[in-house]
């Protein structure tokens, strides 16, 4: 089993560490590879798009042809997880910030996202949320987006103060928070279990 982490920008190494720990917990032999180049995602069984700056990550994955590889994995029905900026990039539609910056999205997740949705006062915070299939979970939010609208095939996994912060559409997971920044690897384990 091979899991790729898109490594162009953002909290890449944290996802690699969390995925490795989750594989150990599940007693699964697997390889986790961070990549900045094309050719790795296409040979993987699953891919993670980390948090960071969505404009930057988007620009680099389209420039370096990693975006097309993510789309192919999606076509093949392989699991994809986007966290924070990664969620924004997976979305079909964004808010005016996404449009103004001409951030090109992958359009995989049938949702509309709003960038930096918690405002300046709450740039970064922790909150306990309830995640469907996981349970109580301490989530770390950093300049987090939210999901404003969801399509028919999208299941809402978690809300925080009535705002949607975790969704799943088939084997695609989108999280507004950062599971890689806590010691709790349950979300990474949940993701790995989706791999055939």
Name the binding residues: 52-54, 115, 142-143
Binding marks (x or -) toward ligand GLN, 12..31, rule CB under 6 A? --------------------
Segment interacting with ligand GLN, rule: CB under 6 A, options 13-21, 47-55, 74-82, 132-140: 47-55
Q: 109-114 and 146-150 as β-strands: parallel, antiparallel, unpaired?
A: antiparallel
Q: 80-83 and 163-169 as β-strands: parallel, antiparallel, unpaired?
A: unpaired
Query: How far is Cα 124 from Cα 102, in angstroms, rounded to an integer?
Result: 25
Query: How far is Cα 45 from Cα 150, in angstroms, rounded to an integer?
Result: 26
Shortest distance (Å) from residue 79 CB to ligand GLN: 20
Segment interacting with ligand GLN, rule: CB under 6 A, options 14-22, 45-53, 63-71, 154-162: 45-53
Shortest distance (Å) from residue 76 CB to ligand GLN: 26
Shortest distance (Å) from residue 19 CB to ligand GLN: 17
DSSP assignment string, 105-144? P---EEEEEETTTTTTTTSEEEEEEEETTTEEEEEEEES-
Quick one: which of 112, 103, 116 has its CA closest to 60? 103
53 interacts with ligand GLN by CB under 6 A: yes
Q: Which residue ranges are tagged as binding site for L-glutamine?
A: 52-54, 115, 142-143
Query: How far is Cα 117 from Cα 39, in angstroms, rounded to an integer?
Result: 34
* Segment 70 to 129, residues that bind ligand GLN, using CB under 6 A: 84-85, 88, 115-116
Segment interacting with ligand GLN, rule: CB under 6 A, options 17-25, 26-34, 60-68, 137-145: 137-145
- Is 178 annotated as catalytic? yes
- Is 15 annotated as catalytic? no
Site for ligand GLN (CB under 6 A): how many residues? 12
Per DSSP, the three-state class of 80 is strand
Question: What is the 3-class SS of 140-165, one letter each residue?
Answer: EEECCCEEEEECCCCEEEEEECCEEE
- Is 180 annotated as catalytic? yes
Query: Which residues touch 149 (CB under 8 Å, ≥6 apart)?
Result: 93, 111, 112
The correct pick among 36, 59, 143, 186 for binding ligand GLN (CB under 6 A) is: 143
The residue ranges that bind ligand GLN (CB under 6 A) are 51-54, 84-85, 88, 115-116, 142-143, 145
């Amino acid at each position: 089993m091979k899991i790729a982490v898109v490594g162009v920008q953002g909290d890449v190494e944290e996802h690699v560490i969390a995925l490795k720990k989750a594989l150990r917990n599940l007693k699964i032999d697997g390889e986790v590879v961070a990549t900045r180049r094309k050719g790795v995602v296409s040979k993987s069984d699953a891919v993670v798009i980390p948090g960071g700056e969505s404009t930057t990550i988007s620009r680099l994955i389209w420039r370096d042809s990693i975006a097309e590889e993510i789309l192919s994995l999606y076509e093949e029905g392989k699991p994809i997880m986007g966290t924070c900026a990664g969620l924004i990039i997976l979305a079909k539609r964004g808010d005016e910030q996404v449009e103004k910056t001409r951030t090109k999205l992958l359009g995989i997740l049938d949702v509309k996202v709003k960038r930096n949705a918690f405002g300046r006062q709450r740039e970064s915070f922790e909150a306990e949320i309830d995640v469907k299939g996981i349970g109580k979970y301490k989530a770390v939010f950093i300049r987090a987006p939210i999901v404003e609208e969801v399509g028919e095939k999208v299941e809402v996994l978690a809300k925080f103060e009535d705002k949607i912060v975790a969704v799943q559409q088939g084997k695609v997971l989108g999280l507004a928070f950062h599971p890689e920044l806590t010691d709790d690897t349950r979300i990474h384990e949940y993701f790995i279990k989706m791999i055939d």
